[in-house]
Amino acid sequence: MRHRIFGLILKELLALFRDKRSRFVVIGPPLIQLIIFGYAATFDVNRIPYASYDEENSGVSRDLLARFEGSRVFRHWGRIHSDDELAKVIDRKEVLLVIHIGRNFSRDLFASPPARMQAIVDGRNSNTAGILLGYVGQIVVDFNASWLPLHGIKPPPAVLQPRAWFNPNLESRWFIVPGLLATLTLVVSIMTVGLSVAREREAGTLDQLLVTPMTPSEIVLGKVIPGFLVAMGEVTLIFLAAVFWFRIPFVGNLLALYVGLAFYSLATIGIGLTISSVSATQQQALLGSFFFLSPAIVLSGFSTPIRNMPELVQWLTLLNPLRFALVVTRRVFLEGAGFAEVWPQFIPMALIAAGSLLGAWWVFRRRVG
């Protein structure tokens, strides 16, 4: 039995890596997607065009506006001189932000602070608008902290100084790239294993396997082990790229990361093998894989918090192994977590792996019986 399974594993690996297209699927797209998402997918905002509407044009107002011009977040588009211009530049999307300083800004600042200024933000993209308002607020707080004591005005009795834990520079790449470790492994596992049985059925080699002394259980095991080896190799490749190319700090337990992703890989392989066993052709397997991948990524918490989803959808995410893998990768990478912190995530992934692998075995037996 051991020799039969080993022979099938060797055949699967040779079939995978001898074919140029299969080699490219395993190595090329994950690296390309890692680079694209690592650089392009970001929650940071930079070089945002803004306009200044300074009705007072005093030394104080120019001092405040100079802080916006000196920030890497903003790019000064130009000055406007009326409310009509203000509406037009926002409507035409020429700028996303207008800083409006009224005629009595200096007088109010000296005589009876607080003085008022206005920040008008294009709210069509609510996420960007919220981030911009946060940056504007921080610049105003810094202006107050330096200007008030300089002019003998008592500063506020308490000043809020925010500090981010685990990601002190608030680099969104530190959050996104560890998530890609699990997401891209899911894509590769589903695509490579999901096509295996369907490819054998189309090529006619599945019938040849069935007339050998190998049992359906041995055939399924011979499909699972190569997929697992490919998935863990993919994990290693993406991990090295994240640490050495993107410079994402890794402060946790490496063994805890690999154990968690091993359970996760088995869960995704079971799902892919079930899809492949149900499908009669590679085209059906490909469509089934995409049908699973899209909701799995959306319902994983990769880009949107699960707690913001409707309660029913939150319950559905418990069937998604990617949800738990993302917790493991991000906690181990950024929080320095070890087995004691992430082992609760191993249990649901192990249960999903057991259920999906048993399901794949049952479906395969029914389809070939």
Residue 75 — φ and ψ, nearest 5°?
A: -130, 120
Shared-domain flag, residues 176 and 299:
yes
Kindly report, residue by residue over 265-319, the tens digit of the pLDDT. Answer: 999 999 988 888 888 787 888 888 888 888 898 889 887 788 878 888 899 999 9
> Beta strand 97-101 with 48-54: parallel, antiparallel or unpaired?
parallel
Shared-domain flag, residues 214 and 357:
yes
Query: Is position 157 within any domain?
Result: no
Shared-domain flag, residues 54 and 118:
yes
Give residue 352's pLDDT: 94
Give the domain extent around 329: 2-41+171-368
Shared-domain flag, residues 304 and 185:
yes
Kindly report, residue by residue over 23-39, the tens digit of the pLDDT. Answer: 666 666 677 777 777 77
How many other C-beta atoms are found inside a 10 Å radius of the C-beta of residue 309?
16
Element (H, E) at 121: strand 117-121
Give residue 25's pLDDT: 64
Shared-domain flag, residues 140 and 229:
no
How far apart (Å, rounded) are the C-alpha atoms in residues 314 and 192?
Answer: 29
Give residue 322's pLDDT: 94
Q: How many CA atoms lie within 13 A of 76 on its CB side?
A: 12
Query: Is position 88 within any domain?
Result: yes
Give residue 16's pLDDT: 65
Shared-domain flag, residues 233 and 307:
yes
Query: Is position 273 within any domain?
Result: yes
Shared-domain flag, residues 126 and 212:
no
How far apart (Å, rounded) are the C-alpha atoms in residues 183 and 198?
Answer: 24
Which domain-ending residue is among 93, 115, 150?
Answer: 150
Shared-domain flag, residues 221 and 92:
no
Query: Is position 164 within any domain?
Result: no
The secondary structure of the chain in percent helix, strand, coil, rounded to multiples of 5, reads 70, 5, 25
Shared-domain flag, residues 83 and 7:
no
Shared-domain flag, residues 97 and 179:
no
CATH code, 139: 3.40.1710.10
Query: Is position 29 within any domain?
Result: yes
Give residue 155's pLDDT: 63
How far apart (Å, rounded) are the C-alpha atoms in residues 226 and 92?
Answer: 55
Give residue 216's pLDDT: 74
Q: Which residues of the chain have pLDDT under 70?
A: 1-5, 8, 11-12, 14-29, 40-44, 112-113, 151-163, 204-212, 367-369
How far apart (Å, rounded) are the C-alpha atoms in residues 112 and 176?
Answer: 46
Give residue 42's pLDDT: 65
How far apart (Å, rounded) are the C-alpha atoms in residues 154 and 137?
Answer: 20
Query: Is position 165 within any domain?
Result: no
Shared-domain flag, residues 80 and 220:
no
Give residue 215's pLDDT: 77
Domain tally for the chain? 2
Q: What is the pTM of this model?
A: 0.76
How far apart (Å, rounded) are the C-alpha atoms in residues 167 and 238?
Answer: 21
Shared-domain flag, residues 21 and 36:
yes
CB within 8 Å of 300: residues ≥ 6 apart:
183, 317, 320, 322, 323, 326
Query: Is position 158 within any domain?
Result: no
How far apart (Å, rounded) are the C-alpha atoms in residues 135 and 141?
Answer: 10
